[in-house]
Amino acid sequence: MTSSIGQWRSRGASLAPRAARRSKASVHHRLTRLRQRSFFIVQCATAAAVAWWVATALLHHQSAFFAPVTVMISLGMSYGQRLRRVIDVTIGVAIGVLVGDIFVHFFGSGAWQIAIVAMTAMTIAVMLGAGTMLVSQAGVQSIIVTTLVAQPDVALSRWLDAVVGGGVALLAATITPASPVRRPRAQAAVVVAELSAILACTAEALRQNDKELVTSALARARRSEHALDELRDLSAEGIAVVRLSPFRRRDLPGVQAIADLLVPLDHAIRNIRVLVRRASVALWEGEDVPPTYIDLISSLADVTAEIAGQLSERRLSRRSRDALTAIARSSSLVAAHPGLSAEVIRAQVRSAVVDLLMLTGLTYDEARARVPASADALEGDFEEGD
């Protein structure tokens, strides 16, 4: 009984620090998310206030409800398809408000009026080739006009409020911060740096015959896909920003260059994950991995770290390309009597070299040409890439 109580106390004591760490991580995550969304929040609130001011102070409308509402719905909390969203929502709101205003002006408000107004507004939106959001907004706004703010004496003014809100949203959408343009490059550097750390961890595990370390490396390799997913989102957001804002068009080549890295990065992550998995199998099954193969992994980790630093500094030097080519040449040498796992590791190093060469700006054919098929191919010369 006493031992059971002691065990429960021990578990309780260990739970407190663990809960504190999780709570701290959760708070940090929420604050990071708030910081990333702060521009959207400020922009939406400011644009809504401007739309209200234009409708009330300049157009002298008494209750310009639809001006700020249109702004808030249009801008949203992401840059993706923002211009299309602003146009769709503005047209949808304008159709719904116009149909609702006209109907209320002539027929008043009631149950049957709501049905007719919603069907009419949505039908017009569909006939205009609208998307789902536009059709929905047309129906919703027509119902709001017919019920919540049914005022026949201000017919058509609310339609103008919706147009004002859409115009303000359109102008606000062209104003974007620099972070969506810079963050994809920073995230790409993070992804590549993580690959370097995984490779270094794997090489160390093989040297030390450390099963726990290689298991940790494999877990990190599996999690690296999430970092790539974040890079995809940031890249899409960055491209949306530079295409939307005339003030950011000059940044398009840089953002597009990072977007072009997504495919070789995806392949590199997959190849390195297979490499680490095979290293794990080798350790747990007691298979021998030649020291020269482990050196290949270490060298690849060093070059990958160098590429990560160059991505952060907005440059990719020829030195990394030459170092990868040297690894490719070394990887063509087969050790004496290698096991299955060892050969899989060597093959994955060669595949990862191709992927990383593509990160330096080479095409697939140029990168592949730098990886000799066998030791005999070392006598040939390599063509220099751009």
Under 8 Å between Cβ of 349 and 268 = no
Q: Is the pLDDT of residue 74 over 60?
A: yes
Separation CA 91–CA 336 (nearest Å): 71
pLDDT over 90 percentage in the chain: 31
Separation CA 385–CA 24 (nearest Å): 48
Cα 160 from chain centroid (whole Å): 37
Cα 381 from chain centroid (whole Å): 40
The 10s digit of each residue's pLDDT in 213-257 is 999 999 999 998 888 888 888 888 788 777 777 777 777 777 888
- What pLDDT does residue 8 have? 54
Q: At what angle do helices 157-173 and 2-53 cross, to 10 degrees?
A: 110
Q: Is the pLDDT of residue 130 over 70?
A: no
Q: Is the pLDDT of residue 379 over 60?
A: no
The 10s digit of each residue's pLDDT in 96-111 is 888 887 887 788 778 8
What does DSSP assign to residue 248?
A: G
Q: Is the pLDDT of residue 377 over 60?
A: no
Q: Is the pLDDT of residue 65 over 70?
A: yes
Q: What distances in angstroms separate CA 207 from CA 294, 297, 346, 377, one per listed residue?
A: 7, 11, 16, 30
Query: Which conformational region is residue 208 in: left (phi greater than 0), alpha (psi within -120 to 50 degrees), or beta?
Result: alpha
- What pLDDT does residue 245 have? 72
Query: CB count, 10 Å around CB of 41?
Result: 11
**Residue of 367, 174, 181, 362 lying closest to 258 (CA atoms):** 181
- What pLDDT does residue 78 have? 66
Show Cβ contacts of residue 236 under 8 Å, excluding neighbours closer than 6 positions.
80, 259
- Assign 86 a pLDDT band (cuts: 50, 70, 90): confident
Separation CA 327–CA 320 (nearest Å): 11
**Residue of 175, 160, 191 lying closest to 54 (CA atoms):** 160
Q: Is the pLDDT of residue 378 over 60?
A: no
Looking at the chain, which runs of residues are DSSP E strands? none
The 10s digit of each residue's pLDDT in 340-376 is 999 999 999 999 999 999 988 889 999 999 988 765 4
- What pLDDT does residue 185 have? 86
Domain locations in the chain?
63-173, 179-379
Q: Which of 1-10, 50-59, 238-247, 364-373 has the lowest mean pLDDT?
A: 1-10
Q: Is the pLDDT of residue 290 over 70?
A: yes
Q: Is the pLDDT of residue 16 over 80?
A: no
Separation CA 60–CA 19 (nearest Å): 56
Instruction: Write out the DSSP string of 157-200.
Output: HHHHHHHHHHHHHHHHHT---SHHHHHHHHHHHHHHHHHHHHHH
- Assign 129 a pLDDT band (cuts: 50, 70, 90): confident
Q: Is the pLDDT of residue 385 over 50?
A: no
Separation CA 48–CA 66 (nearest Å): 10
Separation CA 328–CA 177 (nearest Å): 42
**179-379 is a CATH 1.20.58.220 domain:** yes
Q: What distances in angstroms separate CA 327 from CA 104, 324, 335, one per listed residue?
A: 76, 5, 15
Query: Which conformational region is residue 314 in: left (phi greater than 0), alpha (psi within -120 to 50 degrees), or beta?
Result: left
